[in-house]
Amino acid sequence: QVQLVESGGTLVQPGGSLTLSCVASELSINYYAVAWFRQAPGEERERVGCINHSGGLTYYEDSAKGRFAISRDNAKNTVYLQMNSLKPEDTAVYYCAADLIDLYNDVACLSTYDYWGPGTQVTVSS
């Protein structure tokens, strides 16, 4: 009943910027925390960062801190991942994931996520 779809992945040059979108259907993301993950060829999937239901709290892994930013527009049921100063090692399939929050435990990152998108390819190369 819940569908997440990522978009915006493409080929980009090193040092460039790119913004990915995650659009949710069949639900209101007002009550969902969202995280971005990525998986490079031959490597395990890793978390990039997280955002709480209101957008007021975010968390970033060291690989993304200072370069990436997660934001959300709940009226559009959309979460964004803005990526700046891209490096070849950022090449990966990027996924968004979402799950219901606890109103009395408002955090950016959850331990597990029930809903996942199919992913979008980002390639950083000259």
Quick one: which of 34, 118, 20, 24 has its CA closest to 77? Answer: 24
Q: For 113-121, what is the mean pLDDT?
A: 96
Q: What is the pLDDT of residue 28?
A: 83
Quick check: 1 pLDDT over 70?
no
Integer distance in angstroms from the first to the last C-alpha of the chain?
A: 40
pLDDT tens digits along 3-42: 999 999 999 999 999 999 999 997 788 899 999 999 999 9
Tokens of 81: 């991942």
Quick check: 112 pLDDT over 70?
yes
